Amino acid sequence: MASQNLWALPSRDVKRAVVVFAVVALIAPASAAAHATLIRTVPANGVVLAQSPQSVRVEFDDGVHVAPGNAAVTNDTNSSVLGGRPRAVGHELLIPLRSGLADGVYSVRWSIASNDGHREQGVLAFGIGAGTASPTSVLGASSPLSWSNLVLRALFFFGVLGAAGATVFWLLNRRVLGDRIRVPLAHALFFALLAAFLGGSGMLHASPPGTRFALVLKVAITVALVGGAAAALAPTVPLLLFVAGGCSLALLAAPTLAGHALDGDQPRVLAPLVDIAHIASAAVWLGGLLALVYVLPRASDEGTARAAAVRRFSTSALIAVIVLGLSGLGRALTELSAVHQLWTTSYGQTLIVKTALFPPLLGLGWLNRTLLIGAFARLRRSVLVEISLLAAVVIAVAVLTELRPGAATRPAQAATVAVAQPVTLPPLNAVVEAREFGSLALAVARSPGAVTVTLLGSDGTGANGRNVTVDGAPTSPCGSGCYRASAVAGGLSIGIDGKRLVFDLPAQAPDGRALLRRVTSSYRSARTAVFDEHLASSPSNGSTTHFEVVAPNKLTYRSPKGFAAIVIGARRWDRASAGAPWVPSPQAPINPMQPYWGNPTNVHLLAPDVLTFLDRRVPAWFRVTLKGVRPARVEMTAAAHFMVDRYAGFDVPVVISPPPSR
């Protein structure tokens, strides 16, 4: 790679520093595009329902788009039970099902594309009817990484880096090489931009429309097309070489604009700047080598001009190695959160392969600079081998951009996944309360002399193998995600893996079923309601949405982030951001005045205006603070679903109408 400058330095210490930077650059991840992370599915995988659901809802931590491959079938006959076309609304994928599904087991495959164009698939199974066997899916999910996509990404990256780097080589050597460089450079830019155009066009064809990734690709292939046409005409129209070079440099922004640096959890200014610096330095490295092999021999004869061009490239490559190392280190800090992810994740394993290519590149660099610098023909052959190894690095980068970064990869739990079961729920007579505990739902059920702790994972199954204590005493397993211990009167100190939470939960409390029936009836009879809902899947991932609902079938919601929806009967309109056009679609009629709970048990009056209970159908734990017989605050704790609704009023004036047409 930057063979010319690794060994051109007068100081041995400086040489070592450059080598260190280069090692860091190879170990550090490339700009990895973001993936939407699955939060939960409703219904959860493996659950058995009392009645047929209207749809399957798949929730993510980022905006998603519908991708090909969604399916819903009955396990008995493998016939489709889709009730319409799947649609994506904000962070959710909705898969409609046929109404009135018979008792049995059903399998669903969801398929989405995140905003950066990456596809993800998953499967789930659910049952309908008491006594249904434990549901398992008969559908499979394919891996998002395919050979065709890998080849297209590698072709695109190679073209972008090659064209930009060759342009930098030309700008550095215009005065030295004169007009003789124009024709070979134009040829080099044409083929590099052609590679970028072909790779980008192929990726765009396979990407769902509407994503940031697709938008960036459209612009990139247009720029590559214009630049390629200019390069083709540059041998006869010299000024067009500047157009081709400008397009080549502009393409350097495409990987950053389409990739992970623009994620919401990244530093808004620093991350894109570091990412562009990383890509630009890699371009100087790769494109300079390509120019050294192809352009320079055709632009100069043996002599001082060629030697001067080689030395100028050596200086630029030295700067590129340093920038590449520093920027790569900055990107690595966000892509890997633990050392073990190098060998426990596909992303880390690809990094190891990428790093393994460095020693031979380093050896070639030493050979080129110390032994072959005076023999250009032999130097050129050696650099060809170096470029081949560098092409392998580009392929590794193409793989990395398709894989989830190590920091975003959940730990492998193969054994747990194989035996994961729906959570074991507490006794029917216990007083219950629940809270968010990181990504887990933590519920406590207390009855005279005994305490049951329930840990519900984000996938809807019980979280087993945790170190759970009650008042400092160890617990005994009582089922999937279930831990039980004896307890004395007073507050409860619950320990989970060394962290402590205190619950003020009595062993006995007044029966609240009659009051909850009145609250439910009052809720259903309301004509309108206005409330703000805060929904989170973890302590770091939440959003607030304002709802207005009108009986019998109207609602509207809007988020500070800009997305909004209007539902009126069998029609709905969605928009992705403030000012964006409203997109109409069909809608199964809904009843907005139906409270979230449907099958409450363990209903107790914990305080004069506070009801706590458990809906075993979901399962979800509720704490409802009342104002009369209407909710003032509803807290719901479920799998990766921590919700707080604050009601501004019932039966207040609300008008919901279709959005204005443009």
497-555 pLDDT tens trace? 888 999 999 989 999 999 999 999 999 999 999 999 998 877 777 789 999 999 999 99
Please, which residues have CB within 8 angstroms of residue 554's CB and are 6 or more apart in sequence?
567, 568, 569, 592, 656
For position 52, which CATH number holds? 2.60.40.1220
Predicted TM-score of the model (pTM) = 0.47
Domain that holds residue 343: 3-33+146-408
Please, which residues have CB within 8 angstroms of residue 256's CB and are 6 or more apart in sequence?
31, 262, 272, 275, 276, 279
For position 622, which CATH number holds? 2.50.20.10
Q: Are residues 312 and 457 in the same domain?
A: no
Q: Are residues 282 and 397 in the same domain?
A: yes
Structural domain ending residue among the three candidates 347, 377, 408: 408
Is residue 499 in some structural domain? yes
Biggest alpha carbon–alpha carbon distance for the chain: 98
Quick check: 640 and 538 in contact, CB under 8 A? yes
Q: Are residues 534 and 646 in the same domain?
A: yes
Amino acid 662: pLDDT: 60
Domain count, the chain: 4
Question: Residue 48 and residue 219: Cα distance in Å, rounded?
Answer: 48
Is residue 216 in some structural domain? yes
Please tell me which of 13-27, 31-45, 229-243, 403-417 the model is most confident about, judged by mean pLDDT.
Answer: 229-243
Q: Are residues 215 and 337 in the same domain?
A: yes
Enclosing H/E stretch for 360: helix 358-370
Q: Are residues 27 and 46 in the same domain?
A: no
Is residue 139 in some structural domain? no
Quick check: 610 and 516 in contact, CB under 8 A? no
Is residue 136 in some structural domain? no
Q: Are residues 42 and 168 in the same domain?
A: no
pLDDT digits (tens, 9 = 90+) for 348-398: 444 454 445 445 544 544 445 444 444 444 445 545 555 554 555 455 454
The predicted model gives 105-126 an average pLDDT of 81
Dihedral over Cα of 615, 618, 624, 629: its sign: negative
Structural domain ending residue among the three candidates 472, 503, 534: 503
What per-residue string of b and e applies to 466-505 under the rule 16 or more CB within 10 Å gives b? eebbbeeeebeebbbbbbbbebeeeebebbbeeeeeebeb
How far, CA to CA in Å, does 248 sit from each of 182, 253, 626?
Answer: 15, 10, 64
Residue percentage of the chain with pLDDT more than 90 = 30
Alpha helices in 206-303 (DSSP H): 212-233, 240-250, 253-258, 270-290, 296-299
Question: Residue 565 and residue 572: Cα distance in Å, rounded?
Answer: 7
Task: Return the half-sphere exposure (C-beta side, CA atoms, 13 A cut-off) of residue 449.
Answer: 0
The predicted model gives 145-171 an average pLDDT of 82
Amino acid 22: pLDDT: 38
